[in-house]
Amino acid sequence: MLDDDINIVQADIDDSWARDAGPCFLINPNGKRAGTRFRFNAWGGKYHPHQGDAAFSGAVCETADVKSFTSNLVAEGGGVSVDGEGTIITTETCFPNINRNPGWTKVAIETELKEMLGGDKVIWLPGNPLEDETDGHVDGIAVFVAPGVVLMESPGAEPSEWNDYIRKNLDAMEGQTDARGRRIRIVTVPEAVEAPSQHPKFCRSYVNSYLVNGGVVMPVYGVASDTVVRSIFRSLFPERRVREVRIDSIAIGGGGIHCITQQEPA
Encode pLDDT of 111-126 as tens digits.
Answer: 999 999 999 999 999 9
Q: What percent of the chain has pLDDT over 90?
A: 92
128-153: average pLDDT: 97
Extended beta strands in 128-247, E state: 142-146, 149-153, 185-189, 210-212, 215-220, 241-246
Written as one letter, the residue type at 206 is: Y
3-state secondary structure of 93: coil
159-198 pLDDT per residue, tens:
999 999 999 999 999 999 999 999 999 999 999 999 989 8
> Can you give the length of the chain in residues?
266
For residues 73 and 39, is the Cβ–Cβ distance under 8 A?
yes
Instruction: Measure the CA dihedral 5/245/238/22, to 10°.
Output: -50
> How far is residue 176's CA from residue 38's CA, in Å, rounded to a whole number?
27
Mean residue pLDDT of the chain comes to 96
Query: Across residues 105-114, what is the average pLDDT?
Result: 99
**Close Cβ partners of 143 (under 8 Å, ≥ 6 residues apart):** 81, 89, 150, 151, 207, 208, 209, 258
C-alpha span between 227 and 233 (Å, rounded): 10
Query: Residue 2's pLDDT is what?
Result: 76
pTM for this one?
0.97
What superfamily in CATH does domain 18-251 come from?
Answer: L-arginine/glycine Amidinotransferase; Chain A (3.75.10.10)
pLDDT of residue 38: 99
Q: Which of 24, 61, 94, 259 is catalytic?
A: 259
Q: What is the 3-state secondary structure (H, E, C) of 177-196?
A: ECCCCCECEEEEECCCCCCC
Secondary-structure breakdown of the chain: helix, strand, coil percentages, each rounded to the nearest 5 = 25, 25, 50
The secondary structure of residue 135, as a DSSP letter, is: T
Q: Would the pLDDT of 1 be above 70?
A: no
- Residue 24 designated active-site: no
Contact 84, 25 (CB under 8 A): no
Residue 86 has pLDDT above 80, yes or no: yes
pLDDT for res 3: 82
Contact 85, 178 (CB under 8 A): yes
